[in-house]
Amino acid sequence: MSDMYRDHLLDHIRRPRNHGVIENTNLYRHEANPSCGDVIDVYLRTNADGLIEGASFTGRGCVISQASASIVIEAILGKSKSTVLAMGPKDVVGLLGVEPGPMRMNCALLPLAALHKALC
Amino acid sequence: MGFWEDVKLQFPALHDDRIVYLDSGATTQMPEEILEAISSYERGGRGNPHRGLHDFAARATRFLQESRATVAQFIGAQPSELLFTKGTTEGLNLVAQALGGRLGPGDEVVLTIFEHHAMLLPWRQLASDKGFTLRYLPMSENGVIDLELARKVIGAKTKVVAVIHASNVLGTILPVAELAKLAHAVGAWVVVDVAQSVARLPIDVQTLGCDTMAFGAHKMYGPEGIGALYIAERLRPHLKPLLFGGGMVDEVLDDTIRYADDVRLFEAGSPNVGGAVGFAAACKFLTTLGLERVRERELELTTKLMSDLAQLPRVKIHSSKTALGRVGLVSFSVEGVHSHDVAQILADQGIAVRAGYHCAAPLTRCLDLSGTVRVSLGVYSADHDLDRLVVGIRKVLERFPV
């Protein structure tokens, strides 16, 4: 069985962190993956110093996309905008702890893409 | 060794059984005889058809002409009515650009909810550019098209009726011949996408009553990158080419161009001869098998597939429950599991299916927001493939308990 469905990913599916819409956001982005219909909405609150004070998401999609959203958003809380913008595919794969492979990479990267576009 | 086991043996990609291939609706595998036909053309010396006087050019010209005749015959058309494209999408775009390009406000084009993006998007784009109206025939209570409703929708304003023959999501066979009658009664052109049906049902352009019809070789056990567009003689004067370039003209003078008055007009650029040879070989392969026999076998397997799936808990079948009235292609969802996760866990067990929106977002979205899992059969499919699928789905259910 693929190790793509490790317990820690499934745990983020069962108990997604920072799921929902937080108050007083100043940045928002909707992204979708046309082939499978993965959808993600990210809500961000940044402060005057460019730090991410609050972040949350809502969405619908496969385990990889939704677990990635929960894990990546948990990781960026309190980080600076520039740190998040510097994150790339390798960072996401590192956080997920699994190599999604070429076919699922788009699913894994959808949340980071949404964050990047929200912050730009 | 039974007949169909022998057929499967002709497909080198499926020899070792490491993959249960249930994704023939996406693309089919190629048998030895088609691989051999392509290889034999390429090895024997390539040339650019109609563009040289040497032996290789003459040989390529002959291969191209014979291939065109074979593919045309396969669908009951004349060679002069069949042009080679790079696939179904190109053919449908060519037709939409030419027919839609001259429509405007007040005109209507009728499509169905079943359309693939290859049909839907060119028409949607043109409708927004030109200001004509698209009208969609919805899915009826019994999962097909309500012809009574179609009779009301197709009217004096209708200029084109564009319809998929067999849904790539549900397998549903649409009543193309009946829709064509309604369309022709009001003087509208009929455009048909037979990508999913052409290797599964006997198809004849006269019986379907279409004016133009597009399909691709790679879903017919032939090579990728080549397709065909049938254009009835009566329609050809109304179409114009998508591409301009070499091979499409009779004469180019300083101030005038005299375009070819046959299918060459639509085939600018060096033709894909190897592809055409493989395409023709695919038509011969299917003709030798016999489309009636292919259809009979597919009905048998589809019936088993439906009853297997129906016995699994949490599996919701979106396609209609009977095998009749559809091709061997079934969409389903597993309750509580996204379609991509189902497909991934099946792929991990060596079972190839398709998941997602299937390039038919409007239809798939109304079936299941998570997309659907699609199983599609081919001439190499067997009972034991379906048995392995059932085992595979049980794994999915175990991995994702409710």
Three-state SS letters, A27-77: EEEEEEECCCCEEEEEEEEECCCCEEEEEEEEEECCHHHHHHHHHHHHHHC
What is the spatial distance between Cα B224 and Cα B205, in angstroms, rounded to a whole number? 23
Left, alpha or beta for B245 (phi > 0: left; psi -120 to 50: alpha)?
left
pLDDT range class, residue B1, cuts 50, 70, 90: low
Residue A27, min C-alpha distance to chain B (Å): 26
Mean pLDDT across B15-28: 95
Task: Tell me what percent of the residues of chain B surpass a pLDDT of 90.
Answer: 86
| Cα distances (Å, whole numbers) of residue B281 to B35, B286, B287, B380 | 9, 9, 10, 17
| ipTM rounded to 2 decimals | 0.78
Cβ atoms within 10 A of the Cβ of A43, count?
22
Q: What is the DSSP letter of A79?
A: -
Q: Do B399 and A1 touch (CB under 8 A)?
A: yes
Provide, as residue numbers in chain A, all residues whose Cβ is less than 8 Å from the Cβ of B340: 36, 38, 61-62, 64, 104, 107
CA atoms within 13 A on the CB side of B37: 24
Provide, as residue numbers in chain B, all residues whose Cβ is less than 8 Å from the Cβ of A107: 340
Residue B374, min C-alpha distance to chain A (Å): 12
Give residue B16's pLDDT: 86
Give residue B390's pLDDT: 98
B341 touches chain A (CB under 8 A): yes
Mean pLDDT across B31-58: 94
- The CA angle B111-B241-B175, to the nearest 5 degrees, is 25
What is the spatial distance between Cα B383 and Cα B93, in angstroms, rounded to a whole number? 38
- The CA angle B250-B252-B254, to the nearest 5 degrees, is 160
Contact criterion met (CB below 8 Å) for B286 and B202:
no
B366 part of the active site: no
Residue B324 has pLDDT above 70, yes or no: yes
Task: Select from B344, B370, B399 the Cβ nearest to the Cβ of A104.
Answer: B344
Q: Measuring CA to CA, which residue among A56, A112, A47 is closest to residue A80?
A: A47
Could you tell me the two tokens for B94?
A: 């060519």
Could you tell me the two tokens for B384?
A: 């034991």
What is the spatial distance between Cα B229 and Cα A68, in angstroms, rounded to a whole number? 44
Contact map slice: A 71-110 vs B, CB within 8 A: 104, 107
Condensed to tens digits (0 to 9), the pLDDT of residues B237-293 reads 999 999 999 889 888 888 888 888 888 899 999 999 999 999 999 999 999 999 999
Contact criterion met (CB below 8 Å) for A53 and A47:
yes
Element (H, E) at B191: strand B189-193
Residue B218 has pLDDT above 50, yes or no: yes
In one-letter notation, the amino acid at residue B117 is: H
Give residue B200's pLDDT: 98
Question: Counting every residue, how long is chain A?
Answer: 120
Greater model confidence, B173 or A103: B173
Condensed to tens digits (0 to 9), the pLDDT of residues B88-125 reads 999 999 999 999 999 999 999 999 999 999 999 999 99
Contact criterion met (CB below 8 Å) for B23 and B376:
yes
Residue B82 has pLDDT above 80, yes or no: yes
3-state helix, strand, coil in chain B (%, to 5): 45, 20, 40
Residue B336 has pLDDT above 60, yes or no: yes
| Strand B257-259 to B249-252 pairing | antiparallel
Residue B317 has pLDDT above 50, yes or no: yes
Condensed to tens digits (0 to 9), the pLDDT of residues B342-392 reads 999 999 999 999 998 888 888 888 888 778 999 999 999 999 999 999 999
| Strand B189-193 to B212-216 pairing | parallel
pLDDT range class, residue A2, cuts 50, 70, 90: low
What is the spatial distance between Cα A2 and Cα B347, in angstroms, rounded to a whole number? 9
Give residue A1's pLDDT: 46
Q: Across the A/B interface, how many CB contacts are shorter than 8 Å?
A: 52
Mean pLDDT across B193-207: 97
In one-letter notation, the amino acid at residue B356 is: G
Provide, as residue numbers in chain B, all residues whose Cβ is less than 8 Å from the Cβ of A4: 344, 348
What predicted TM-score, i.e. pTM, was given to this entire model? 0.91
Contact criterion met (CB below 8 Å) for B177 and B194:
no
Mean pLDDT across B20-35: 98
Mean pLDDT across B142-150: 93
What is the spatial distance between Cα B263 and Cα B216, in angstroms, rounded to a whole number? 17
pLDDT range class, residue A111, cuts 50, 70, 90: very high
pLDDT range class, residue B308, cuts 50, 70, 90: very high
Rounded CA Rg of chain A: 13
Question: Counting every residue, how long is chain B?
Answer: 402
Task: Give the residues across from B258 on adjacent strands.
Answer: B251
Condensed to tens digits (0 to 9), the pLDDT of residues A19-70 reads 999 999 999 999 998 776 789 999 999 999 999 999 999 999 999 999 999 9
Q: Do B348 and A107 touch (CB under 8 A)?
A: no
What is the spatial distance between Cα B366 and Cα B350, in angstroms, rounded to a whole number? 30
